[in-house]
Amino acid sequence: MYGKKYQWVIVGTYSHDWWKKYDTDFNCTLEELESALEQALITDLLPLSTSIEITIAGITANEYKLEYDSRRGGEYSRFHGYTYDGIWAVALAIQSVARRIKYYRRNESVADFRYRDPLWERLFLDALHNTSFEGVTGPVRFYDNERKASILLKQFQDGKEIKVGEYNAATQHLDLTLGAPLKWIGKHPPKDQTLVIIEHTRVNKTVYAILATLAVLGIIMASVFLAFNIKYRNQRYIKMSSPQLNNLIIIGCMLTYTSIIFLGLDSGLSSIEAFPYICTARAWTLMAGFSLAFGAMFSKTWRVHSIFTDVKLNKKVIKDYQLFMVVGVLLFIDLVIMTTWQVADPFYRDTKQMERYPHPSNEDIIIIPENEYCASEHQTIFVGSIYVYKGLLMIFGAFLAWETRHVSIPALNDSRHVGLSVYNVAIMCICGAAVALVLVDHQDAMFLIIGVFVLFCTTATLWLVFVPKMLELRRNPGGSIDKRFRPTLRPMSKTRRDSSVSELETKLKDVKSLNSKYRKTLLEKESELQMLIRRLGNEAKELLESRESMSDTNRLSVPLIRKEQPSATETSDITSLCSLSSQDYASLQHTDSQK
C-alpha cells in the first residue's frame, strides 16, 4: 500500500536512521522499505526553537544549544531542552506560590510545603496554569494540565529524513517555509479519502435541442394541414374523407409532438419541484394524442371494414357522429385511467444510482451517475392496464386494416392511406414499448430512440393522410369527380369474406351478360314478328291487336335501357352507393337458378 494514491504519516520520536535497524527476518529488503517510505511524512518533537527571541534565561535557543553541547560530553538526550524549560516552569511556579501563600497563611512559607494539603495543591496548580514564558523549546504554556509544544514536520526524501516545516500548537500555525519543499509521488498530494461525486444524469442538450426543434416544426406542419383541411372542407374530394375526423387526427398528432418536448425535460432544465408535473404532462399528452389520432384512424378503418366485409348488403349507414362516439369512448377511458392514477397515486421524482466509474483525469475521484425517473407507488398496475388497453386497440386496428387491405374506395378516398397509418402506428408503438423497457436506465439513448419513433410515426401518419389530398387538389383544384363513385374490391381467395365478395361480383357479371343476351333475342323476335305481320296483311294485324287487348301481360316488349347519371345529392354514404335491395338480389338469384 504505497504509491501516488497513498500518503503515510508516521508518529516519530524514533532514533536516528531508525529504518535501517530492522529485523533481518522481515520479508523485505532495505531498498523495498526505503521505497515504501519515500515521501512519507514524519512528526517529531521540536528539540529546540528555531526562533531568535531571547528566552527567560536571557539567551537565545541557539546560544543554549552551544552551551549544552560544550557541557554534555558524550551524553545526549533529545529532550534536554524540555527538561531545561521544565525546571524554569517549576521555579516560576514556586516563586508565585511563595508570594501567594502569605495571603492565606501569614506564618507559613514554601519551606512549610506539605503534600496532600488542598491549599498547597490548589496554589501550585494555579501557578502552573498561569505560567507563560519563552523557553528554549518555544513558548511554554499549560492547557488542561499539559503543554502544547511545537511539532517538527519531516519528510522521507531520497533515503533521508528532511525537515519540511513546523507546527506551533499554541498558536495553531503551520509554517512550511522553515524547511525543504514538500515532494509528492504524483502531481498533487493524495486525497485523505476517495472523493465520491454524485453526477445527475441529464439528457444531452444537443440531442434534446434537435428533437425539440423537429417537434416544433412538426407542430407547425400539422397546423398547416389543419388550416388546409378546414379551408377545403367543403371541397368534394376532402368532404368525402370525413374532414372532422381528419381534424382529430391532426390535433392528436400535435399532442404527440408536444409529448416529445416534455419527454426530454428534466430537473436540470426545470427544477426538482416541477419534475412531477412534467411527468404528468408527458403521460397526458401522449395518451390523449394517441387516442385522438389512432382512434380516428381506427374508427374510419372500422367503417370501411363494416361496409365491405359484412354479407348484409342492406346494412344501415355508419354516420360520422358514430365515429366521433368511438373516439369519445377512447378518450373517456383515458380520462378515467389517468384521473384515477393522478388522484390515488400521483407521480413523484425517484432516483437510482448507477454503476460507479473513476474520474478520467483523477484517480482519487469516483463518479456515481444518478438517474431520475417518474415514479409512483402502483405505477406497474396503471402502466400495465394502459399497455393492455392500448395493445388490444392496436391489435384490433391492425386486424381491421389487414382485412380491408385490398379495398379501394374512391368515395372514401383515404381508406388505403389510413390503413397504412394504422400499420405504422402499431409497429412503432410495439418497438417503442420494447425499447423503453430495455433502455430504461440509458436516458440519452431511450430519449433519442423514443423521440425518433414518435417523430417518424406521427409525421408518416400526417403525410399518408394529407399529402395525397393536397396533391389531388393541386391536380384538380375544383375538387370535382368525373364519374359516379364505385367501390371496387380485388378478388382474393385467401379469406372467406374476400371469396364471398368475389363470388357475388361473378354472379352480377353473369346476370348482366344474360340480360344483354335476352334483350338481343327479344329484339330479334320482335323484328321477326313485325315481318310476319306485314306478310299476313290486315287480318293478322287485327287478330294480334285483339289478343293484346285481352291480356296485356302476354304482350312481348323490349325494356328500354336507360343510362344512369350521378345524383346531385350524393354524399359520403358509401353504403347507399353500393347496396342492392333484397328484392333485386332475390330476382337475380332466381334468374341465375333458371339458367
Residues 566-586 have pLDDT tens digits of: 433 333 333 333 333 334 434
How many whole angstroms separate alpha carbon 428 and alpha carbon 218? 17
For cell 511545537, name the residue.
150
Last residue of a domain, one of 151, 178, 198: 198
Specify the pLDDT at position 546: 64
Q: Are residues 308 and 441 in the same domain?
A: yes
Number of independent structural domains in the chain: 2
Q: Are residues 162 and 268 in the same domain?
A: no
Are 186 and 214 in a shared domain? no
Q: CATH number for the domain including 168? A: 3.40.50
Q: Is residue 127 part of a domain?
A: yes
C-alpha to C-alpha distance for 154 and 415, rounded to whole angstroms: 89
Phi and psi torsions of 147, nearest 5°: -100, 140
Contact 533, 540 (CB under 8 A): yes
**Residues 301, 254 share a domain:** yes
pLDDT value of position 160: 85
pTM confidence score: 0.58
Phi-psi region of 203 (alpha: psi -120 to 50; beta: other; left: phi over 0): beta
- 261/171 same-domain check: no
Could you tell me if 225 and 189 lie in one domain? no
345 burial class (0-12, 13-18, 19+ CB within 10 angstroms)? Answer: middle
Q: Which of 133, 138, 143, 147 is nearest to 95 (CA)?
A: 133
User: Residues 171, 217: one domain?
Assistant: no
Q: Distance between CA 504 and CA 492 in Å, rounded?
A: 13
Q: Report how far Cα 107 is from the mean position of its chain's Cα atoms.
A: 92
Helix (H) or strand (E) holding 532: helix 496-536
Q: Cβ(529)–Cβ(540) under 8 Å?
A: no
SS3 category, 397: helix
> Does residue 235 lie in a domain region?
yes
Q: Which residues of the chain have pLDDT under 70?
A: 24, 308-318, 404-424, 426, 429, 432-433, 440, 477-502, 537-595
Please name the residue that has the C-alpha cell 372467406.
496
238 in the same domain as 168:
no
> Same domain, yes or no, for 243 and 136?
no
Kindly report the backbone phi and psi dihedral angles of residue 10, in degrees, each rounded to the nearest multiple of 5, phi listed first: -115, 130
Q: What is the pLDDT of residue 420?
A: 66
Could you tell me if residue 518 is inside a domain?
no
- For residue 555, the model assigns a pLDDT of 44
187 within 8 A of 80, measured Cβ to Cβ: no
Q: Provide the domain limits for residue 40.
A: 9-198
Q: How many other CB atoms are there within 10 angstroms of residue 282's CB atom?
A: 20
- Which residue type is seen at 519? R
* Residue 106, C-alpha cell as written in the block: 501569614
Query: What pLDDT, on the 0 to 100 scale, is given for residue 227?
Result: 92
Assess whether 163 and 274 both reside in one domain: no
Q: Which residues pair with 373 in a beta bridge?
A: 350
Which tens digit of pLDDT belongs to each residue from 94-105?
988 888 888 888
- pLDDT at position 231, please? 87
Indicate if 77 and 114 belong to the same structural domain: yes
Three-state DSSP state, 348: strand
Q: Count CB-CB contacts under 10 A for residue 382.
A: 18
The single-letter DSSP state of residue 110 is G
Q: What is the structure's pLDDT at 88?
A: 92
